[in-house]
Structure 1
Amino acid sequence: MYGKYHLKENMNEMGHIEYQINPTNPPLSVFNAASNLIWTTLEAKHQIRSILVLQLKMDKSWILNFLLLILHLRTTQASFGVGGGVGVGVGVTNGGGGGSGGVFWVGGEVNSPEPPRSSVPKLDGAYTALQAWKSAITNDPLKILDSWVGPNVCSYKGVFCSNLEMASSTVLVVAGIDLNHANLRGTLVKELSLLTDMSLLHLNSNRFTGTVPDTFKDLTSLEELDLSNNQLSGHFPSVTLYMPSLIYLDIRFNSFSGSLPQELFNKNLDAIFVNNNQFEGEIPQNLGNSPASVINLANNKLSGNIPASFGFIGSKVKEILFLNNQLTGCIPEGVGLFTEMQVLDVSFNSLMGHVPDTLSCLQNIEVLNLAHNKLSGELSEVLCSLRSLANLTVAYNFFSGFSQQCSKLFFRNIGFDFSLNCIPGRDMQRPQPECSVIPGGSLSCIRIPTPKPLVCGSLVVSTTNNTDHSSSSPSP
């Protein structure tokens, strides 16, 4: 697989992104053409996780209600009806909201279509919230909201309910909303904050505009927030930083602008997707504090150096993408601490200097993309010997050579693009005049003295003693 979970992003005829699982390595052209930049996501993982979370809650409801049925039969021998069904789907066009929206409940008369209002007090607030939101949606081409009628919100398409266990009873609540690819136009309303028991909100590939309401801070149970591929704007939605349970944040493909807050990388998030917006300014220096396994900062207007703390993100990190920004300076030496790294993409920036030897410690790296920068020097033998490497792209730089081991990459069926560099005797290289002056010749990159051959385990101690240093910027 490409990275951890790779989803191919296609643009449909309506101009919206469609996600399609692609279990194979992408063609080499993906790494060579600016129009086909790489994006990796954990969306597949988290959609599977979302299904399991909802299903787990519903499974508990089945067991609990089965016991209630037995008790009810033994004590009253009264007739009863079961309404609803379990129907967990990903996206409203892929079977979401089956049965009665994925809720199982007991009560009422035989085959009663909806539970008595008195038995579901939590749903009164949900009804208020969803009807207010429905009023703020101005276009619904797929007629999703035609089912949003009446007080039984658990029958609404895209709405999932489950039983919440309280101290002495259970209460039916809205556990999640999945309206991915619904193509809805409208705004997010403050009343959605009434859904305090909701654990996931998936709204990707719609046409929502405006900002994220400040009242969303009251969504204390929300674990997954996916607002990607909409038309939201304004500064970074800082309200997301005050959601105590949030672990998955996806706001990519919107029009957010301004700087990224430092608090983003202090929060206990597993996935951070802020790519394809209009964020600018420097990457916060506390990037290394983040416990996330995936961080995607691609396709923004971020500038300055990659923070020196970059190498100190926990070993949990699997994928990090800086591509297509305006970054300068050096690749930090501490990058070699990423023992679990699978995807590293710094392409389409203005990074200079030599590639740090510590890159050879990335024994799990599958995709390494350094293309379209101003890097120089030679590619080392150990770098081209990485055991998990599937694609190495260094095109459009100023490298002057590579080892014999790099030449063997073709025989290992590994994608290796070194075009438009300054390598003597090789085809498709830069004209000699372009290679006579190496960009960033006066740039001084902080490099840690390491033994030869490099002992990767020694990096932890060495880099810890150099955490106060950062790469200097090139002279004009």
Structure 2
Amino acid sequence: MEKTMILSFLHLLLLLLPNPAKAAIGIAIGVGIGIGIGNGNDGPNIPGSSGSSVSNLNNAYKALQAWKSSITDDPLKILDTWVGPNVCSYKGIFCDTTSNTPFVAGIDLNHANLQGTLVKELSLLSAITLLHLNTNKFSGTVPETFKDFIFLQELDLSNNQLSGSFPIVTLDMPSLIYLDLRFNNFKGSLPEELFNKKLDAIFLNNNQFSGEIPQSFGNSPASVINLANNMLSGNIPTSFGFMSPKLKEILFLNNQLTGCIPQGVGIFTEVQVLDVSFNSLVGHLPDTISCLQDIEVLNLAHNNLSGDISDVICSLRSLLNLTVTSNFFSGFSQECSRLFNVGFDFSDNCIPGRNMQKPQPECSVIPGGNLNCLRIPTPKPLICGTLAASTSKYTNIPSSSP
């Protein structure tokens, strides 16, 4: 919450500062700056914006009036301010008037509860750098004309009623670094190109995406990826183990994933949150999990994982929450005992002599016991830096596309 508030404040500051100060601060990724009224002296400076101020604002007027006409419910009466040609006075619309050619630079209608659709005419606002529409009731699909948003850096369409397949048009936005589609009704497969884009944040959770996670997954330079609460199936791509060190949070929870946790996990990443719970993963935990020295939350619950939970995992220096309930683990080390007071839940496993375990008949046949999980030979004790260096010699990892 604190991080969100700071990022939101930076956005508002960028919209209000003169251009030299904006350049000094830079553009930060955020999730909303609140509904406000443009004051005629805000908005990011867009390189290469062209056309007269009259044509820029005329186009904006056409776009916003077309959008207004498609909105069927406005409980907060926000659109009451959308009257007349002075679009910079509209609530939720932010303009840059510091140049010789004023233009609409951003739209923030988060939590406006508007009901309607996204109209193709919005592409006339081709200079905007942020479009925040979190928590409304927009339905339908994302218009193909949004490909004209060549300066758009942040697209937040979360918590709406949008539908259709993954909006491929978002991959045609060359400046996009923040993509938030969570809590909608999108369905179908994820495109291979998604993880080749230079996105720093990818939020796709709580939709109806299905099929396998593309093998390009490991190419993503993102710091946060949330795929939770979908219908994704198949294995976690092996490329997951070789992702960028920038990755801090990855959530796979509540899908239909099978197979093993990739051996490479932990070698290169500096993940702080890893949640694979409520899937059907099998096999033993890879030794390389012990390389996750920055991990704070590790949730393995409600899978079919087996074997022992070793000292090296329970002794991870930053670990605050380890959840392994509802698996087939057969033991854990003494070091894990120190986690009992910080929420370590080992119930519903197959640990001899412990309470709250599965009945013995269930433990006699371990799901996936015949599955041969690929394991990279590792030195004992595991030296993560050495392993990363040696593994990279034999692993051809495609680089991200420009």
Give your verdict on TM over 0.5: yes
1:107-133 Cα offsets, whole Å, 9 max, x none, are: xxxxxxxxxxx8544111111110000
Is 1:90 paired with 2:70? Answer: no
Amino acid at match of 2:95: C
Is 1:161 paired with 2:122? Answer: no
- How many residue pairs get matched? 379
Is 1:461 paired with 2:394? Answer: no
1:15-73 Cα offsets, whole Å, 9 max, x none, are: xxxxxx2x6xxxxxxxxxxxxxxxxxx85565344334323456769xxxxxxxxxxxx
Say if 1:349 and 1:372, in contact at 8 Å, map to a contact too: yes
Alignment CA distance shift 1:241-1:57 (3 Å): farther
Aligned to 2:25: none
Q: 2:225 aligns with which of 295, 298, 313?
A: 295
Amino acid at match of 2:15: L
Say if 2:268 and 2:388, in contact at 8 Å, map to a contact too: no
Amino acid at match of 1:443: L
Deviation at 1:463, TM superposition (A): 3.2
Structure 2, unpaired ranges of 5+? 23-31, 43-51, 398-402
Amino acid at match of 1:150: G
Is 1:205 paired with 2:135? Answer: yes
Aligned to 1:369: 299
Aligned to 2:27: none
1:341-420 residue pairs with structure 2 within 5 A? 341-410=271-340, 413-420=341-348
Alignment CA distance shift 1:164-1:281 (3 Å): farther
Q: 1:224 aligns with which of 146, 151, 154?
A: 154
1:345-404 Cα offsets, whole Å, 9 max, x none, are: 000000000000100110000100000000000001010011111100000000000000
Aligned to 1:127: 61
Distance across 2 between alignment mates of 1:185 and 1:319: 32
Distance across 2 between alignment mates of 1:464 and 1:45: 37
Alignment CA distance shift 1:399-1:44 (3 Å): farther
TM-score (norm 2): 0.90
Say if 2:199 and 2:221, in contact at 8 Å, map to a contact too: yes
Distance across 2 between alignment mates of 1:301 and 1:50: 34
Distance across 2 between alignment mates of 1:60 and 1:131: 33
Farther-moved stretch of structure 1 (197-206 vs 50-59):
50-59
Aligned to 1:448: 376
1:139-193 Cα offsets, whole Å, 9 max, x none, are: 101101000000111110011111364xxxx221111111011100000001110
Deviation at 1:426, TM superposition (A): 1.2
Amino acid at match of 1:90: I
1:177-211 Cα offsets, whole Å, 9 max, x none, are: 11011100000001110111111000010000000
Deviation at 1:232, TM superposition (A): 0.3
Amino acid at match of 2:33: V
Distance across 1 between alignment mates of 2:390 and 2:325: 31
Distance across 2 between alignment mates of 1:263 and 1:56: 36
Say if 1:57 and 1:163, in contact at 8 Å, map to a contact too: no
Distance across 2 between alignment mates of 1:312 and 1:401: 29
TM-score (norm 1): 0.76
Please give the secondary structure, in 2, of the residue aligned with 1:320: strand
Alignment CA distance shift 1:260-1:438 (3 Å): same
Give the fraction of aligned pairs with identical amino acids, expressed as a percent: 72
Amino acid at match of 1:458: T
Say if 2:261 and 2:286, in contact at 8 Å, map to a contact too: yes
Q: 1:104 aligns with which of 41, 56, 59?
A: 41
Deviation at 1:459, TM superposition (A): 2.3
Aligned to 1:149: 83
1:55-114 Cα offsets, whole Å, 9 max, x none, are: 3456769xxxxxxxxxxxxxxxxxxxxxxxxxxx8222xxx22xxx23239xxxxxxxxx
Output the aligned Cα RMSD. Answer: 2.0
Structure 1, unpaired ranges of 5+? 1-20, 24-41, 62-88, 106-117, 470-476
Distance across 1 between alignment mates of 2:64 and 2:17: 24
Aligned to 1:425: 353
User: Which of 1 and 2 has greater Rg?
Assistant: 1
